[in-house]
Amino acid sequence: MFRKMVVVLGLPVLLLFFLSDFYGQAVAQNAGIPLGRNDSRITSTFSVHPGWRDFRFAVQLDKAGKVAGVSVFREGDSSPFQTLPTCAGPGLLEPVTEGWTNDDLSKLIKHDDLNFDGFEDLELLQYFNRHSDKKLYCIYLWNDRTGRFLYSKDLTDIAMNVEAHPETKTLTVQDDWQGGAFEDSTYRWKAGKLQLIEQHGLYGDWSTQSKGKCGFEFRCGRLRNGEMVTTLIKPVCTVDEMQDLPNCPGEATFLEPKLPAGTPAPIKRN
């Protein structure tokens, strides 16, 4: 009786397994098919200013499915009042295909007030690494005088995972590299130009570690009298040290620790 029940209950399980495998193969086959240019998932809406009507933003794809730009429509209009080309180099962003998830597609267009003028600015994806979650955008600032979006090279050049902080009117950029290295930078606007005011990061690689030399180095820098000045240099020789980095000192402090005696042998990477 028990054995028969197992066989009967096993049929739906086998059927579910077959359907799952079939669906997986279908997804894999469709993964390389370019997304249709009129697919609603590559269109988004937002208002550039509180109380204004929404604009509609339609990502433009070429025949291969690569992002070619974005068209901007006013509410109710069938023709765009502005079409912005991508600033990405050839092949920088992979083709947008049926294999992209809805979450992936939602990253194609972003908006934020990146220059703190009260108007939302446009971000068009130009690079996306799913493994590291790195995202790089072409930035177009809204110009209220002309009623148009204008390309910002300054912002685009630094826009790796950029975040705006209205309370301090600063922008932070985070860049992570394989092996644990990273760099965090803080910018502010001055006379219409971006100015780097603070930066800290962990630089190096375990493969360079040997007796008397640590694989990594933690460094801090701050803007002082118009120039970036190093305020801390700390060798990092172990994983524990990597996970317990110090706070960057204030502007009036300069510290350069000496290399620890008996530096451990290189740490093997997993």
Tell me what pLDDT residue 18 has: 36
Asked if residue 113 is part of any domain, the answer here is yes
Asked if residue 103 is part of any domain, the answer here is yes
Tell me what pLDDT residue 119 has: 98
β-strand 134-143 against 148-151: which pairing, if any? antiparallel
Are residues 51 and 150 part of one domain? yes
Are residues 257 and 200 part of one domain? yes
Asked if residue 268 is part of any domain, the answer here is yes
d(Cα 39, Cα 59) in Å, to the nearest integer?
10
From residue 231, how far is each of 158, 195, 215, 242 by CA, in Å? 22, 18, 20, 18
Q: Residues 6 or more apart from 9 whose CB is under 8 A from it?
A: none
Tell me what pLDDT residue 261 has: 59
Are residues 194 and 252 part of one domain? yes
The whole-number mean pLDDT for each consecutive block of 10 residues of the chain, a chain of 270 residues, reads 36 34 40 81 96 96 92 95 88 86 94 97 91 87 97 90 94 90 95 94 91 90 92 92 90 51 51
Look up residue 91 and give its two tokens: 């092949």
Long-range contacts of 188-191 (CB under 8 A, 24+ apart): 189/115, 189/116
Tell me what pLDDT residue 30 has: 54
Are residues 236 and 127 part of one domain? no
Are residues 148 and 40 part of one domain? yes
Residue of 26, 78, 74, 68 lying closest to 48 (CA atoms): 74
Asked if residue 84 is part of any domain, the answer here is yes
Tell me what pLDDT residue 160 has: 82
Q: Do residues 209 and 268 lie in contact, with contact meaning Cβ atoms separated by under 8 Å?
A: no
Asked if residue 27 is part of any domain, the answer here is no
- What is the total count of domains within the chain? 2
What's phi and psi for 262, nearest 5 deg?
Answer: 65, 50
Are residues 150 and 44 part of one domain? yes
From residue 139, how far is each of 49, 90, 248 by CA, in Å? 17, 18, 30
Q: Do residues 100 and 35 lie in contact, with contact meaning Cβ atoms separated by under 8 Å?
A: yes
d(Cα 22, Cα 30) in Å, to the nearest integer?
12
Are residues 189 and 143 part of one domain? no
Domain around 220? 177-270
Asked if residue 4 is part of any domain, the answer here is no
Tell me what pLDDT residue 90 has: 63
